[in-house]
Structure 1
Amino acid sequence: MEAVLPIEVEIPSMRILAEVKLAEAEWAKQRYKQLNLIDEKRLKALCHGQCYQQRMARAFNARVRHREFNPGDLVPREVLHVTPDSRGKFSYKYDGPFVVKETLSRGAVILSDMDGTENALPVNADAIKKYFP
C-alpha cells in the first residue's frame, strides 16, 4: 500500500488516475468541475475571514470604555518612567492633577497646570484619567 497525499484524494494526480483506471474523458470532466468550484471556495474563505474579523472587532470593542473629557475637568497624567529620578517600582504612576484646556479630535487633550500655564504638546486620552478630589 502506498501513501497518498490528502490533496491528491480531492484533486487526483496522474498517479492516482492510473491506479483507479479512470477514463481520460471522465477525469477531464471531474477536473473541470473542480476548477469551476475554486472561485466559489475562494469567495467562501474570504467571506469567512471577513466575518471572523468583524466578530473579533465586536468582541474587542465591547470591552472598550469610552472616556470623554470636557474643558475644566481635573485629570492626572500617567508618568513615563524614563526620568533620571526614577525610583523603580516605588515611583509615582501619575503626575498632576492637571486641568483639561481643550479636547481635540481622536482623543487628544491639551492640558494646563493648576496655575494656568498651558503645556505645549497634546496628550493622548489613554494616558489620563478623571480625577475626583
Structure 2
Amino acid sequence: MEAALPIEVEIPSMRVLTETELEEPEWAKQRCEQLNLIDEKRLTALCHGQCYQQRMARAFNASVRHREFKPGDLVLRKVLHITPDSRGKFAYKYEGPFVVKKVFSGMAIILSDMDGTENALPVNADALKKYYP
C-alpha cells in the first residue's frame, strides 16, 4: 500500500483557499503545477540519496586495509564468544598463534594449531590478524 499526499488526490483545503484568497480555478491550476513538480522533487531526492551513499562508501573503503594470508603464515584468531570463566575486560581478545593451512576464495581460511592438528571449520579472514613472533 502506498501513501498518497492530499495534493495527489486533489482534496481541496478550505484553510488554504481562505488564507491565499485564490479563486478555485487559480487554485486548481497551482495544484496541478505542484503535482507535476512532485516527480521532479522525488528524482532530486533520490539523486541526493545515491550521491550520499557513494560518498559514504568511498570514505569507508579508503580506511579499509586489505589483508592477504598465505599458507604457512602465523595468525591470531579473535575470541568471538565470551566464556563464563572469562575475566571480563581483562580477558584475552585474541587466541593463538595458529598456522594458515589453506586459503579459499572469499577469504575463508583453514587453520591448524602449532603442533599440526587441523581445525575442521574454516574461519573468516575478518576474525584474524597476522602474528609476528
Residue 42 of structure 2 aligns with an amino acid whose one-letter code is R
Question: Helix, strand or coil: the match of 1:106?
Answer: coil
Query: Measured at CA, do residues 95 and 20 of structure 1 come closer, stay the same or move farther in structure 2, by a change above 3 Å?
Result: closer
**Does residue 40 of structure 1 match 2:40?**
yes
Q: Which runs of 4+ in 1 moved over 6 A?
A: none
The sequence identity of aligned pairs, in percent, is: 80
TM-score w.r.t. the length of structure 1 is 0.80
The Cα offsets for residues 33-86 of structure 1, whole Å up to 9 and x where unpaired, read as 110010111111111111111111111111111111111111121234533542
RMSD after superposition: 1.9
Question: Structure 2 length as normaliser, TM-score?
Answer: 0.80
Where 1:18 maps in the other structure, the secondary structure is helix
CA distance in 1, matches of 2:130, 2:47: 42
- What are the equivalent positions in structure 2 for 1:1-133 lying under 5 Å apart? 13-133=13-133
Count of aligned positions? 122
- Separation in 1, partners of 2:86, 2:18: 75
Q: Which range moves more in the overlay, 76-85 or 55-64?
A: 76-85
Return the alpha-carbon distance in structure 1 between the equivalents of residues 33 and 98 of structure 2: 69
Change (3 A) 1:26 1:111: same
Matched residue SS, 1:86: coil
C-alpha distance in structure 2 between counterparts of 1:84 and 1:14, whole Å: 67
Unaligned residue ranges in structure 2 (runs of 5+) = 1-11
Task: Note the C-alpha offset of 1:125.
Answer: 1.2
